[in-house]
Amino acid sequence: MTTVSASPGAGLSAMKVVHAVCSHDCPDSCGVLVTVDELTGRAVKVQGDPSHPVTRGFLCGKVAKYLDRVYSPDRLLHPMRRRKGVAKGPLPQGREADAFEQISWDQALDEVAERLKKITAEFGPESVLPYSYAGTIGQLGYGSMDRRFFHRLGASQLARTICAEAGGTALKRVYGVKLGTVPQDFVHAGLVIAWGANIHGNNVHLWPFIEEARRKGARLVVIDPYRTRTAALADEHLAINPGTDAALALGLMHVILSMGLEDREYVDACTMGFEELRAHALRPEYSPENVATATGIDAGTIVRLARAYAAAGRSATQNTGHGSNVGGPAAIRLNYGIQRSENGGTAARAVCMLPLLTGAWKYKGGGLLLSTSGSFPFNEKALQMPELMMASPLGRAARVVNMSQLGQALTTLGDHESDGPRVKALFVYNSNPGAVAPNQNAVLNGLRREDLFTVVHEQFFTDTTDYADILLPAPTFLEVKDVQGAYGHLFAQVNNRAIAPLGEARSNVAMFGELGRRVGFEEACFDDREDEMIDQALETEHPWLTGITRERLEREGHIPLQMPVDAKGEVLPFSTAEWFRTPSGRGQLVPVPVFAAPTESRAHASKGAYPLEFLPRKADNYMNSTFANIPLHQRMEARTAGVLEMHATDAAARKIVTGDEVEVFNGRGSITLRALVNAQVSAGVVAARLDWNKLGSDLSGNGANVNALTSETLTDIGGGATFYSTLVEVRKGHDGIR
């Protein structure tokens, strides 16, 4: 905390500037400077930290006006209990409080403790299910005291798969660690491929580095079935058929290997399984012509891209510093878009292999970036204490429930004896499953159960709080202290508390620690608070965190990780064999990735029951479902509010024109939107974006969002959600009325 200016004039207020970190689920983990009026204790300004090498002084459109969210009149500020006789179910926005009565924290915690004790005694501790994701990615807020609490209780464990498990596991299978190209080094690239990555919308701090490279002649190619902001700004947009990325990656390998464009020296030094992969990729099914049929990208383009990709970095003009980037190395910004698909793990694995074949890792600015989260070896074991499960009444590791199948967990789990008990208590924090979880009708049917005791710890009334028995108020990142890594850069940061929690909000750490005491846990670890836990997180032998202490973080705000450097002092991940953390110590090219069309796709032999592929997308100006209730953000997203984007061919075939009400449906559900016929999607693909159910974008009045259509099918690797493998049909009007 630094006091930068104390205004001298009489009666004027003193301002201090506090270093915070944006804790939203975003790769950029921006350094944020919060200006606080010391007399009123109010934050008056947020800005990007100009000294942070990736934030570089700016915040995205979502967080630039963050005080609108922090001081929103709609904040949930007090514990509440559902009023007797009020059924669980959707409540109109702005009127939610009518269904609840305000209670004190003491009453709330006692009631939650009593109910949990009763439920665990009657049904066994595994009948309690925590449900959380990345409302905050601060290390403490994301997973620390909460885990201790549920471990000690013996509650079911939650497999947190909804976002990144397929791709993350794929990356680890190929490289052994979640690490990639240093984001600042994208300025040196000659070819950038944004593969299932909406950089301009979801990872905007990478954008200036790419723009700088492009000013020096670099090319940007986007591979995405949707014409995103990123695609519209690119040199080339390849509108791939959803779920066919493994075919494209194998097609590129086919061209590279048949022309002998691989880097044999690098392949020999750093990979294993090359001959097997080579034989596989050279099979006729991965010829450019066959891959063109699967992906919808023409054969000539595939050959051209493969040659440009393999040539990148090898020509004489590479890395000349101030000169041109033409001929510079190839960097793939792979993001999690491609792995939200039935075979998305295999697709991610195939793409991850490309730089291993061309040796792109050898060059500054080359390689691949999916996630850097593996670079932050925080001591999670100390924070989460899994050994407490042994001290629980269960006395063993509890069963694991997959969060991407919450619908089943709440409706059918327990039908079979081998399932273990039914879920009788659900504790939601850091997440809004009523809006974001797939197969929404099953989820909401589960949440509606009157025999399910539901606690929600939240900042706002959401689509999930409508089903809560007890509501607990949560703080924003301005109101808590935490330590944070990033999945898109290599700086550890401290989030200092800028302002006191609003109302009676309590942090995840404080809330779960206190609840542990109420339930009767006697372990000293339930008394730990933020500072002690930050110290625990940093207490590790791992060399990359050497010298990074809480005191230093408090002083400096952000500190670069101590990554290994080469002779020139450069951090070049996977440039040499030492970097790999696979069992073989090499980049794994085996088992060979095999392309298979998702069962829910047009390309599948069965053709599926519905003809159109649906992209239930994220909004550029929201963070999943976060911000959807803030008027400023709604205005920024007005163009896509309640809209189904479709291609003229599909619209004409259904006699649909822009502005028509259209019902989008499949066997799982239906949502009624307004058609927008445009060129954002190709024929055969339709798109709509995530929103809160209760905001009324479903014109039928049923209060659904896009997840009414998505399934609980899991990815091939990692048990992830498959939002982008969804088939639908579209018809004019709804319920066949028009």
- Interacting span for ligand MGD (CB under 6 A) from 195-203, 306-314, 354-362, 570-578: 195-203
Q: Which two structure tokens, joined as six digits, stand for 405?
A: 């199948």
Q: Which residues does 477 contact at the CB level (< 8 Å), separation at least 6?
A: 20, 21, 22, 23, 24, 136, 138, 141, 495
Using DSSP bridges, classify how beta strands 219-223 and 482-484 pair: parallel, antiparallel or unpaired.
unpaired
Q: Give the whole-angstrom CA distance, residue 367 versus residue 364.
A: 8
Query: Within 475-504, which residues bind ligand MGD (CB under 6 A)?
Result: 475
Partner residues linked to 238 by β-bridges? 223
Query: Any idea what the Cα angle at residue 100 is, between residues 99 and 104, rounded to 5°?
Result: 175
Partner residues linked to 671 by β-bridges? 664
Q: 248-267 mask for Mo ion (x: CB under 5 A)?
A: --------------------
Q: Which two structure tokens, joined as six digits, stand for 595?
A: 């392309």
Q: Give the whole-angstrom CA distance, residue 382 versus residue 642.
A: 45
Q: Which two structure tokens, joined as six digits, stand for 654?
A: 């259904």
Q: Give the whole-angstrom CA distance, residue 2 versus residue 18.
A: 6
Q: Which is nearer to ligand MGD, 138 or 273 (CB)?
A: 138
Q: Side chain identity at 247, as an amino acid letter?
A: A
Q: Is residue 151 within 8 Å of residue 525, measured between CB atoms?
A: no
Using DSSP bridges, classify how beta strands 100-102 and 400-402 pair: parallel, antiparallel or unpaired.
unpaired
Check binding of 571 to Mo ion (CB under 5 A): no
157 interface partner picked from ligand SF4, ligand MGD, Mo ion, none, CB below 5 to 8 A per type: none
DSSP secondary structure of 664-698: EEETTEEEEEEEEE-SSB-TTEEEEE---GGGT--
358 interface partner picked from ligand MGD, ligand SF4, Mo ion, none, CB below 5 to 8 A per type: none
Q: Which is nearer to ligand SF4, 62 or 734 (CB)?
A: 62
Query: Within 607-626, which residues bind Mo ion (CB under 5 A)?
Result: none
Q: Cβ 62 to ligand SF4, closest distance in Å?
A: 5
Q: Is residue 79 within 8 Å of residue 102, measured between CB atoms?
A: yes
The CA-atom distances, in angstroms, between 685 and each of 194, 240, 241, 627, 691 are 20, 10, 8, 27, 20
Check binding of 434 to ligand MGD (CB under 6 A): no
Partner residues linked to 81 by β-bridges? 101, 470
Check binding of 196 to ligand MGD (CB under 6 A): yes
Residues making up the chain, counted from first to last: 738
Query: Within 216-245, which residues bind ligand MGD (CB under 6 A)?
Result: 223-226, 228, 240, 242-243, 245
Q: Which is nearer to ligand MGD, 72 or 582 (CB)?
A: 72
185 interface partner picked from ligand SF4, ligand MGD, Mo ion, none, CB below 5 to 8 A per type: none
Number of residues this chain uses to bind ligand MGD (CB under 6 A): 61
Query: Quick one: which of 59, 210, 240, 728 contacts ligand SF4 (CB under 6 A)?
Result: 59
Per-residue buried b or exposed e for 85-100, using 16+ beta carbons within 10 Å of the residue's own CB = eeebebbebeebeebb
Q: Which two structure tokens, joined as six digits, stand for 558?
A: 């952000």
**Longest Cα pair distance anywhere in the chain, in angstroms?**
81
3-state DSSP assignment of residue 663? strand
- Interacting span for ligand MGD (CB under 6 A) from 182-190, 209-217, 428-436, 578-586: 428-436
Q: Which is nearer to ligand SF4, 372 or 725 (CB)?
A: 372
- Interacting span for ligand MGD (CB under 6 A) from 289-297, 602-610, 621-629, 696-704: 621-629
Q: Cβ 595 to ligand MGD, closest distance in Å?
A: 12
Query: Quick one: which of 19, 28, 168, 357 contacts ligand SF4 (CB under 6 A)?
Result: 28
Q: Which is nearer to Mo ion, 244 or 404 (CB)?
A: 404
Number of residues this chain uses to bind ligand SF4 (CB under 6 A): 12
Kindly report the backbone phi and psi dihedral angles of residue 59, in degrees, each rounded to the nearest multiple of 5, phi listed first.
-115, 160
Q: Cβ 717 to ligand MGD, closest distance in Å?
A: 15
Check binding of 63 to ligand SF4 (CB under 6 A): yes
Check binding of 26 to ligand SF4 (CB under 6 A): yes
Query: Quick one: which of 21, 197, 443, 597 contacts ligand MGD (CB under 6 A)?
Result: 197
DSSP secondary structure of 261-326: -S-HHHHHHHEE-HHHHHHHHTSGGGSHHHHHHHHS--HHHHHHHHHHHHHTT-STTTT-TTS--T
Asked whether the bond before 393 is cis by omega within 30 degrees of 0, the reply is no
Q: Cβ 416 to ligand MGD, closest distance in Å?
A: 28
Q: Side chain identity at 45, as an amino acid letter?
A: K
Start-to-end CA distance of the chain, whole Å, equals 61
Q: Cβ 733 to Mo ion, closest distance in Å?
A: 34
3-state DSSP assignment of residue 290? helix
- Interacting span for Mo ion (CB under 5 A) from 57-65, 160-168, 263-271, 720-728: 160-168
Check binding of 403 to Mo ion (CB under 5 A): no
- Interacting span for ligand SF4 (CB under 6 A) from 24-32, 346-354, 453-461, 539-547: 24-32
Q: Give the whole-angstrom CA distance, residue 669 versus residue 688.
A: 15
Query: Quick one: which of 20, 22, 182, 255 contacts ligand SF4 (CB under 6 A)?
Result: 22
223 interface partner picked from Mo ion, ligand SF4, ligand MGD, none, CB below 5 to 8 A per type: ligand MGD
Beta carbons within 10 angstroms of residue 683's beta carbon: 14
Q: What is the DSSP letter of 581?
A: -
- Interacting span for ligand MGD (CB under 6 A) from 40-48, 128-136, 150-158, 176-184: 128-136
Q: Which residues does 28 contact at the CB level (< 8 Å), separation at least 6?
A: 22, 54, 55, 60, 203, 204, 205, 206, 486, 488, 489
Number of residues this chain uses to bind Mo ion (CB under 5 A): 1
Check binding of 670 to ligand MGD (CB under 6 A): no
Which residue of this chain has its Cβ atom nearest to ligand MGD in the complex? 337
Check binding of 163 to Mo ion (CB under 5 A): yes
Check binding of 495 to ligand SF4 (CB under 6 A): no
Q: Give the whole-angstrom CA distance, residue 507 versus residue 528.
A: 13
Query: Quick one: which of 29, 169, 392, 680 contacts ligand SF4 (CB under 6 A)?
Result: 29
Query: Within 171-210, which residues bind ligand SF4 (CB under 6 A)?
Result: 204-205
Q: Side chain identity at 680, as an amino acid letter?
A: Q
- Interacting span for ligand SF4 (CB under 6 A) from 54-62, 399-407, 474-482, 539-547: 54-62
Interface residues toward Mo ion, by CB under 5 A: 163
Interface residues toward ligand MGD, by CB under 6 A: 25-26, 133-136, 141, 162-164, 195-198, 201-202, 223-226, 228, 240, 242-243, 245, 335-338, 340-341, 429-432, 436, 457-460, 462, 474-475, 508, 615-620, 622-626, 690, 706-707, 710, 723-724
Interface residues toward ligand SF4, by CB under 6 A: 22, 24, 26, 28-30, 59-60, 62-63, 204-205
